[in-house]
Amino acid sequence: MPAPLTLFDKLWRSHVVTERDDGLALLWIDRHFVHEGSHHAFGQIAARGAKVARPDLTFGVADHYVPTRGRGLPIPDASVARMVDQLSANTAAHGITLFGLDDARQGIVHVTGTEQGLTLPGLTVVCGDSHTSTHGAFGAYAFGIGASEVAHVLATQTLWQKKPKRMRVGVDGMIGLGITAKDIMLTVIATIGADGAAGHAIEFAGSAIRGLSMEGRMTLCNMSIEAGGRCGMVAPDETTFAYLAGRPFAPAGDVWTAAIDDWRRLPTDADAAFDREVALDGADIAPTVTWGISPEQALPITASVPDPAGMADAVKAAATRDALDYMALAPGQKLDTIAVDRVFIGSCTNSRIEDLRAAAGVLAGKRAKVPGLVSPGSSLVKQQAEQEGLARIFTEAGLEWVESGCSMCVGMNGDMVAPGERCASTTNRNFKGRQGPGARTHLMSPAMVAAAAVTGHLTDVRRFS
Amino acid sequence: MRPFTTETAAMLKLPVANVDTDQLIPARFMKEPRKPEGYGRFLLHDLIAEADMPKPEAGQTILVARRNFGCGSSREAAVYALADFGFRAVIAPGFGDIFASNCVKNGVVPATVSEADAEALLAAGNLPVTIDLEAQRIACGNIVVDFTIDPVWRTQLLKGWDDIDLTLAEADGIAAFLAQDAAGRPWAAPRR
Ligand code: SF4
């Protein structure tokens, strides 16, 4: 009998072209997404006179710099316009399909790529963006790469990689009402630390994970990188197949049937060994928010801001002091008394239709006490949310409903949180200055952001259900 | 990339262990557009500001230092700064992993020597040093020492190949993989 393999082992094995004595393997890459930031790599291959090896497996998306207002009008900021135009020029020159600003399918690369059926179980997926881990939700090996690696994939459709170790994060048990994938993931990161999965490929497993929708699984895998993981993945199952069926670029007909047969063989074999195992009880997970400047600085909303004075670990105490100082919080303060200045619903973590429905469910018929922005993950999500009446709920609550892009997740397009302002946000990084210089970010689920909008402070969303 | 066979030049001697990439180029100089040219003037900026530290001089293209050279953050700019200044080889009893592989990507030889040999070179007079990549040998006056380097990196540097060239040399292997893959995974291609 062949040795039992993990999902990751199977993905790795099916993509090795050749292996070197130093442990590096040359992997075949099935999908490569490029965005405005990929221009360095296009420059590198132009400098050597190379062509894009497989334009048919390369897809461009305009997202990081795109304006979220005034679509269709010329972009006012010249440097932003240059970034967007350069992507159009580079993709056109190499015959790469582009979901550009004028395309109805435009959106954040990790939302558009998956929604179009480009990401499938059993594939390798790369992009010059760390949150490429999102695509692992389909049972793909998906990871972010650096500029030189983007150039390498463009020129060869392959990549030299060292095999990571395997780690299983199991979440079993019934998760409570109002608890989402975001709460699960923030709890995982708080438990294992922001570098807890360093050097590992994470597989999320267990009954609580099986019960998640594809949207939820994408939120989970999206933030694998925030736990230090090389990638995150969930084994494909009926939920995966149902999501993919009929998507524009997904296989159809006989090929679809053959695909499902193969995909059913991908899940980790019984008795396959992992280098590390972490187990969480789903019943223990509460709505979770971050209070600090690293995603690991997260606690249940029912808790209080930690006190560095009581910490045995001096390094942790110093980090806590630094975080409290930046976030302007006092030790012992109840988390649900922290007042916010604005809210943001968007980013590749939480901007899909299910996320917008959850936020709208809390906001329906209410007014937000603070201003805020809602940027759907893709232009198609935007369209659907408008058809479902969600957009009206947001605007009637007083929030601004804008076009799709990375927007206030990173502020490259000018959507920023003002210095010193506190923002309840559905994004993935609460680093110092991430949403703008001096901005203070609290990460949480879309429903929790909506609850903060309605009350003006961090709030346990279970009050609303 | 320019192939490397042998290089004879003046040597910069840095009798320091654990020179990290932030010492090679402080983070505050990296806000400039990510072009390799122009980083050289920031090389070792803060370290050489200290008293009794040797300053890099024009004509020096080989650097010798103590253990764990290039540890710390993975920033490739550390190697850009070295290469842009003119350095073609670094000699030490061990390197930061990512730094060493970044060296090779930029045509710089990371030559690993024993602690004793590094000390001998650091103590050598002001003579030109010759580094022979083919023979894996360093000579400076009457000091002759061997060095080690990953064989794949050695080939790359000797031929002046970057990673892309190295991969293109695997064309047959890639073609064989694809032939087999197309039959095994007909669903992997995007539907058109
Ligand atoms: S939404 Fe944020 S995290 Fe996602 S790709 Fe854009 S900038 Fe990166």
Max Cα–Cα distance, chain A, nearest Å: 64
HEC sequence for A255-269? HHHHHHHHHCCCCCC
Q: Which atom of ligand 1 is nearest to the CA of A346?
A: 1
Query: What's the pTM?
Result: 0.88
Substitution site in A375, A410, A413, A441 for ligand 1 pocket (most atoms within 8 Å of beta carbon):
A410
For ligand 1, the distance from its centroid to the CA atom of residue A406, given in whole angstroms, is 5
Contact A379, A107 (CB under 8 A): yes
Contact A438, A419 (CB under 8 A): yes
Q: How far apart are CA A31 and CA A340, in angstroms?
A: 40
Say whether A43 sits in a helix, a strand or coil: helix
Q: Is B173 on the interface with A (CB under 8 A)?
A: yes
Residue of B nearest to A40 (CA): B34
Q: How far apart are CA A61 and CA A51, in angstroms?
A: 19
Q: How far apart are CA B23 and CA B39, in angstroms?
A: 13
Tens digit of each residue's pLDDT (9 = 90 or more) over A150-198: 999 999 999 999 899 999 999 999 999 999 999 999 999 999 999 899 8
- Please name the CATH architecture into which domain B6-161 falls: Alpha-Beta Barrel (3.20)
Substitution site in A130, A409, A443 for ligand 1 pocket (most atoms within 8 Å of beta carbon):
A409
Per the CB < 8 Å rule, is A249 touching B188? no
Distance of CA B16 to the CA centre of its chain: 17
Q: How far apart are CA A57 and CA A135, in angstroms?
A: 15
Say whether A457 sits in a helix, a strand or coil: strand
Ligand 1 site, residue A347, Cβ cutoff 6 A: yes
Distance from CA of B176 to the nearest CA of A (A): 8
Provide the percentage of residues in chain A whose pLDDT is more than 90.
89
Q: Please say if the pLDDT value at position B34 is more than 60.
A: no
Contact A133, A225 (CB under 8 A): yes
Instruction: Record the tokens describing residue A64, joined without a space.
Output: 């990081």
Residues of chain B in contact with residue A154, where contact means CB-CB under 8 angstroms, are none
Q: Pseudo-torsion of CA A110, A113, A118, A122, nearest 10°?
A: 0
Average pLDDT over residues B55-68: 92
Say whether B48 sits in a helix, a strand or coil: coil
Per the CB < 8 Å rule, is A122 touching B185? yes
Domains of chain A in sequence order: 7-162 (3.30.499.10), 165-284 (3.40.1060.10), 334-464 (3.30.499.10)
Tens digit of each residue's pLDDT (9 = 90 or more) over B62-113: 999 999 999 876 678 899 899 999 999 999 999 987 789 889 988 999 999 9
Say whether A205 sits in a helix, a strand or coil: strand
Contact A227, A202 (CB under 8 A): yes
Interface subset of B 63-122, CB within 8 angstroms of A? 76, 105
Distance from CA of B168 to the nearest CA of A (A): 7
Residue in A111, A224, A180 with CA at minimum distance from that of residue A451: A180
Per the CB < 8 Å rule, is B177 touching A57? no
If you ran DSSP here, which 8-state letter would residue B190 be given? P
Instruction: Record the tokens describing residue A447, joined without a space.
Output: 């429903």
Q: How far apart are CA B80 and CA B37, in angstroms?
A: 7
Interface with A, mutate which of B165, B187, B192 (most A CBs under 10 A): B187
If you ran DSSP here, which 8-state letter would residue A213 be given? -
* A343-355 residues labelled b (16+ CB within 10 A) or e (exposed): bbbbbbbbbbbbb
Q: Pseudo-torsion of CA A129, A130, A136, A137, nearest 10°?
A: -100
B17 pLDDT band, cuts 50/70/90, is: confident
Instruction: Record the tokens describing residue A57, joined without a space.
Output: 């497996």
Ligand 1 site, residue A129, Cβ cutoff 6 A: yes
Phi, psi of A215 (to 5 degrees): -60, -45
Say whether B108 sits in a helix, a strand or coil: coil
For ligand 1, the distance from its centroid to the CA atom of residue A432, given in whole angstroms, is 16
Instruction: Record the tokens describing residue A168, joined without a space.
Output: 């299983």
Phi, psi of A126 (to 5 degrees): -130, 160
Q: Pseudo-torsion of CA B74, B79, B80, B83, nearest 10°?
A: -170
Ligand 1 site, residue A428, Cβ cutoff 6 A: yes
Residue of A nearest to B185 (CA): A259
What are the strands, taking DSSP E only, across A69-108? 97-99
DSSP codes of every residue in B57-86: -TTEEEEEE-SSBTBSS--THHHHHHHHHT
Residues of chain A in contact with residue B32, where contact means CB-CB under 8 angstroms, are none
Q: How far apart are CA A393 and CA B21, in angstroms?
A: 51
If you ran DSSP here, which 8-state letter would residue A38 be given? G
Contact A228, A253 (CB under 8 A): no
Ligand 1 site, residue A406, Cβ cutoff 6 A: yes
Residues of chain A in contact with residue B100, where contact means CB-CB under 8 angstroms, are none
Burial of A66 (0-12, 13-18, 19+ CB in 10 A): buried
Residue of B nearest to A43 (CA): B35
**Which single residue is written with the structure tokens 């490259």?**
A412
For ligand 1, the distance from its centroid to the CA atom of residue A399, given in whole angstroms, is 21
**Which single residue is written with the structure tokens 């293209």?**
B61
Residues 6+ apart with CB under 8 A from A14: A122, B181, B184, B185
Distance of CA A50 to the CA centre of its chain: 32
Per the CB < 8 Å rule, is A148 touching B188? no
Q: How many residues does chain B have?
A: 192
Phi, psi of B100 (to 5 degrees): -60, -40
At residue A129, what is the residue type? D
Instruction: Record the tokens describing residue A322, joined without a space.
Output: 């630094």
Q: How far apart are CA B107 and CA B101, in angstroms?
A: 10
Q: What is the residue extent of each domain of chain B?
A: 6-161
Q: What is the pLDDT of residue B36?
A: 60
Full pLDDT tens readout for chain A, 465 residues: 689 999 999 999 999 999 987 788 999 999 999 999 888 899 989 988 999 999 999 999 999 999 999 998 999 988 889 999 999 999 999 999 999 999 999 999 999 999 999 999 999 999 999 899 999 999 999 999 877 889 999 999 999 998 999 999 999 999 999 999 999 999 999 999 998 998 899 999 999 999 999 999 999 999 999 999 999 999 999 999 999 999 999 999 999 999 999 999 999 999 999 999 999 999 999 999 999 999 999 999 999 999 999 899 988 999 999 999 999 999 999 999 999 999 999 999 999 999 999 999 999 999 999 999 999 999 999 999 999 999 999 999 999 999 999 999 998 888 999 999 999 999 999 998 899 989 999 999 999 999 999 999 999 999 987
CB neighbours of residue B31 within 10 Å: 7
Q: Which atom of ligand 1 is nearest to the CA of A349?
A: 4
Residues of chain B in contact with residue A160, where contact means CB-CB under 8 angstroms, are 163, 167
